[in-house]
Chains A and B, each alone.
Chain A
Amino acid sequence: MDLLNAFITLSNFVLIPAIAYGSQLALGALGVTLIYGILRFSNFAHGDTMAFGTMATILITWAFQGLGISAGPLPTALLALPFGIGVCALLVLATDRGVYRFYRGQKAKPIIFVMVSLGVMFIMNGLVRFIIGPDDQRFSDGERFIISVRQFKALTGLDEGLAIKTTQGITVVTAIIVVALLFYFLNRTRTGKSMRAYSDNEDLALLSGINPERVVMVTWLIVAALATVAGVLYGLDKSFKPFVYFQLLLPIFASAIVGGLGNPLGAIAGGFTIAFSEVMITYAWKKVAGYALPDSLAPDGLAQLLSTDYKFAVSFVILLIVLLFKPTGLFAGKAV
C-alpha cells in the first residue's frame, strides 16, 4: 500500500485533466445557459461558434508567429485571443441581425429558434471547413510543461510523476478570471443587472424601460467571448478539429442541463460534474488500485468501467438521469 503514490497517479491522470476539461466545459455551458436565459432557446450552433472563434484565433496566431511576435513561455494564441473574440463577435452579431432578430419580432416558438440555430450551425461549420479545412490543427507553442514528470520525480523522490501542462494551468487560470469577470458583470453592473432582470421576467423588464435589443446584443457579445475562450483553451489543451467541436455540443448541453438551464452557477457545477464523471468512468484504475489496495486485492484487469470510445455515453446517461428525476437540474434552472 502506498497512498501517496496512489494520490499522485490519481492527480496526474484523473484530477488535473478533469479539472482542465471541466473548466472548458463550464465555459461552454455558460454560453449555452446565457443564451437560454436571455433568448430562451437551446443554441445548437454553440459548438460551431466555438470552432469559428478558435479558427479565427488560430489564423491570427499564425500571423503573429509569422511576424515573430510571441508571448515568451506562454502560447502565442493568448495574444491572438482578443482578436479572435472580436472576429467571432462580429459573426455572431451579424447572425443575430440576419437571422434571429426576425424570429424574435415574430415571437416564434422556441422550437423554431432551435431549428434556425441548426441551420446556423451548418453554415458556421461549412465556413470553418471552407476556410481552414476539416483536419487537425495544432497551434500551441511556448513552454510545454509547468512541471514535467522528470522534474517532479527529482523534486520529491517519489516513484510516480506528476505532470502539469502549461495549457492545463492556463485553462484553469483563464477560466477563473473569465468566470469572476462574468459574475462581477452580472451582479454588480447596471447592464448585467438589466440582463438578469430580462431573464427573470421579460415583460416586467420591458415595463421598467430596459432596451431588449441592447440586452440581446450584450448577451451575444458575452457569448462570443465565452465560446472563443472555451474553444481556444480546448484547442490548446487537445487539438483543433471542427468535427470534435460539433461533438462537444453533447457534453456542453449535458453540463448546462445538469446544472439547470439558465443558471450560470449551475453551468459551472454541471461542467465539472460531467468532466469528472467522464474521466473517472473511462479511466483504467489498475495503477491507482495497485498502489492504494493491499497486494492481495489488486485487480488483474485494467479496472476500466467503460472504454474511452464511450465517453459521450457518460454525459448522455447523466443527462437522461437528470431529465428523469430532476428536469430542472441541480441548481433549479428555469426550464421544465
Chain B
Amino acid sequence: MTDTTRNLFYFGCIAALLIGTGIMTSWNLAITILNFGLISAIMALGVNLQWGFAGLFNVGIMGFVALGGLATVLVAMPPVGEAWAAGGLRVITALVLGAATIVGAILAYNALPKGRMRTLGLLAILIVGFFIYRAVFDGGVQAVEAINPATTGYLGGLGLPVLLAWPVGGLLAAGAAWIIGKTALGLRSDYLAIATLGIAEIIIAILKNEDWLARGVKNVVGLPRPAPYEIDLQNSDTFVERATSLGIDPVTASTLWVKAIYAGLFTVVLLILFILAQRALHSPWGRMMRAIRDNEVAAEAMGKDVTARHLQIFVLGSAICGIAGAMMTTLDGQLTPGTYQPLRFTFLVWVMVIVGGSGNNLGAVLGGFLIWWLWVMVEPIGLWLMQVVTSGMADGFWLREHLLDSAAHMRLLTMGIVLLLVLRFSPRGLIPEK
C-alpha cells in the first residue's frame, strides 16, 4: 500500500465515521462534530509545528486558545460608550503605565552596572510603578464595572467584523508565547513545559476575574456571527421554499445551513494553514528546524541560532492555536471562561498530534478529526459499557449506581490510556513523518 492510498483510506474512514454518525443519530450532530473537528485539526497543526518540527513541549495550549477567544470579544462586540466615558481612558492609562514600568525596569537593568545599585534601582522602579498603576487602575475598573453590571459592566470591543478577530486572536497568542519563550527557551526542555502550564492557568484566572475586560465568569454572550441567524432564514420565503422543495423541514434546514457556512469558513482557514505549514516543512527553513530538533549541538555547530529559531516556531505555533481559539468562540457565539479545562484544550490536542503522527501535517489533521470524534463518542460509549457491565447487578445496588454516575469520567481515563499506548507501541503515529 503506498502512502497516498493509505492516507486516502484513513481520511475515507473519517468520512465514513461522520456519515455513519449522521445516519445513526442525526446530521446536526455529524456536522457539529465536523466543525469542531476542523478547529481541532487547526490546533493540532499549531502544536505539530512546535512538537513535530521543533520538539518543543507546550502544555499551555488552553491559554493560547483562551486568548483567541478573548480576541473575538475585544474585536467584535460593540463598544460600551458609557463605560468608556466612565473609566475607559483611566483603565487604558493604567495599563500603559504598568507596561511603562516593566519597560523602564528592563531599560534600567540594561543600563546600570551590575551590583547592589542595580538591584535597588530595579526594585524601586517596580514598587513605585506598581503602586501608581494600582492607584490609577482600581478607580477606573470600579467605574467601568459599575455601569449596568447585569448586561455590560465591561468596556466592550471595537465593533469590527468578527472574522477580523481570527488573525487578532493569533496575534494575542503570539504575544503571550513570545514572553514565555523569551524566558523559558534555551534552558532545559522541561522548563518550557512548566512555564506554559503556568501561563495557561494565569490567562484563565485573568479571564475569570477581570470583569472590565470580558465580564469574567458572567460570560459574554451574543457575539456577532459571520453566518445568518436561523430565525432569519426561517422567516425568509426563498429559504423556506428551497428547503421544502428539497424535502427538508425548514427549521432543520436552517440549522444545517448555518453550520455548513461555518464548516466552509473553517475549511478555508484549515486549507490555508495546512498549505503554509506544508510549504514550511519542505522549505530550507523546515529542514533546518528538523535538523535542530534531531541534534541541537550539531545544528549549533553549523552556525544555527537554536534559541532564536525555537522562539520563532514557538510563537508561530501558538499563534495558530490562538486563531483556532478565536474560531471556536465565534462558533459558540459566547465566551465562557469557566469552560476552559486543561484536559479538553491542552491534553486532547496532544493526543491528536501523537496519534495522528507528529512531524507530519497530514497526520496532525487526521488526528484532529479522529480524536475529536472519539472524544464526543466516548461518553455515550462509556455509559453503554457501564450499563453492560452492571446489567447483572440489582437496581439501586451501590456499585451499579456509582459506576453509572462515574461514566462521565471515562474520558480522562480513555484519553490517558490512548496516549500511553500510542507512545509505547506506535510512537510515530498513524501517518508517520517521512
Contact = CB atoms under 8 A, between A and B. Distances in A.
Interface residues of A, number: 49
Given A102-B424, A118-B350, A249-B197, A323 B183 contact: yes
Nearest to A112: B423
A82 interface: no
Contact of A116 (B202, B209, B412, B420): B420
Contacts of A319: 194-195, 198
Contacts of B199: 316
Contact of A122 (B190, B191, B347): B347
A323 to B, nearest CB: 5
A247 B201 contact: yes
Nearest to B131: A305
Contact of B347 (A42, A118, A323, A324): A118
B103 interface: no
Nearest to B415: A122
A11 B389 CA distance: 55
A148 to B, nearest CB: 33
Contact of B202 (A44, A253, A316): A316
Contacts of B343: 122, 125
A315 B130 CA distance: 18
Nearest to A313: B202
B409 interface: yes
Contacts of A109: 189
A126 B409 contact: yes
Nearest to B409: A129
Interface string A301-336: 100010101101101100110011001000000011
Contact of A123 (B57, B184, B342, B417): B417
Contacts of A116: 420, 423
Contacts of A217: none
B47 interface: no
Contact of B406 (A44, A130, A313): A130
Contacts of A112: 423
A94 to B, nearest CB: 13
Contacts of A119: 416-417, 419-420, 423
A73 interface: no
A312 B183 contact: no
Contacts of A126: 409-414, 416
B198 A312 contact: yes
B412 A122 contact: yes
A127 B189 CA distance: 29
A111 B183 CA distance: 18
A130 B409 contact: yes
B197 A312 contact: no
Interface string B392-421: 000000000000011001111111110110
A320 B209 contact: no
B59 interface: yes
Interface string A66-103: 00000000000000000000000000000000010010
Interface in B178-216: 183-184, 187-191, 193-195, 197-199, 201-202, 205, 208-209
Contacts of B423: 112, 115-116, 119
A305 B415 CA distance: 40
Contacts of B55: 111
Given A119-B423, A310-B205, A312-B205, A110 B189 contact: yes
Interface string A239-272: 0000000110110011001000000000000000
A330 to B, nearest CB: 15
A228 to B, nearest CB: 21
B216 to A, nearest CB: 10
A134 interface: yes
A320 to B, nearest CB: 5
A114 B190 contact: yes
A335 B409 CA distance: 36
B406 A133 contact: yes
Nearest to B342: A246
Given A111-B189, A130-B409, A250 B420 contact: no
Given A44-B193, A309-B209, A312-B205, A120 B198 contact: no
Contacts of A123: 412-413, 416-417, 420
Contact of A310 (B188, B190, B209, B411): B209
A130 B413 contact: yes
A41 interface: yes
Contacts of A257: 191, 194
A289 B372 CA distance: 54
Given A102-B424, A316-B202, A120 B416 contact: yes
Given A123-B420, A323-B195, A115 B183 contact: no
B184 A323 contact: yes
A102 B425 CA distance: 11
Interface string B289-303: 000000000000000
Contacts of A247: 201
Given A111-B57, A247-B201, A316-B199, A42 B190 contact: yes
Contacts of B416: 119-123, 125-126
A1 B57 CA distance: 54
Contacts of B187: 323, 327, 335-336
Nearest to B424: A102
Contacts of A250: 194, 197-198, 201
Contacts of A131: 406
B421 to A, nearest CB: 9
A309 B57 contact: no
B210 to A, nearest CB: 10
A254 to B, nearest CB: 8
Nearest to B55: A111
A111 B409 contact: no
A319 B229 CA distance: 47
A129 B412 contact: yes
Tell me which of B193, B198, B343 has the highest count of chain A C-beta atoms within 10 A of its own C-beta. Answer: B198
Nearest to B56: A111
B175 to A, nearest CB: 15
Tell me which of B130, B183, B194 has the highest count of chain A C-beta atoms within 10 A of its own C-beta. Answer: B194
Given A122-B343, A309-B209, A323-B183, A253 B417 contact: no
B293 to A, nearest CB: 11
Contacts of A125: 343, 412, 416
8 contacts: A115-B419, A116-B420, A253-B194, A310-B205, A316-B199, A319-B198, A323-B183, A335-B187
Given A109-B189, A307-B209, A313-B202, 8 more contacts: A110-B189, A115-B419, A118-B59, A122-B412, A126-B411, A126-B416, A312-B201, A336-B187
Top 5 nearest A-B pairs by Cβ distance? A126-B412, A126-B413, A122-B416, A123-B416, A316-B198
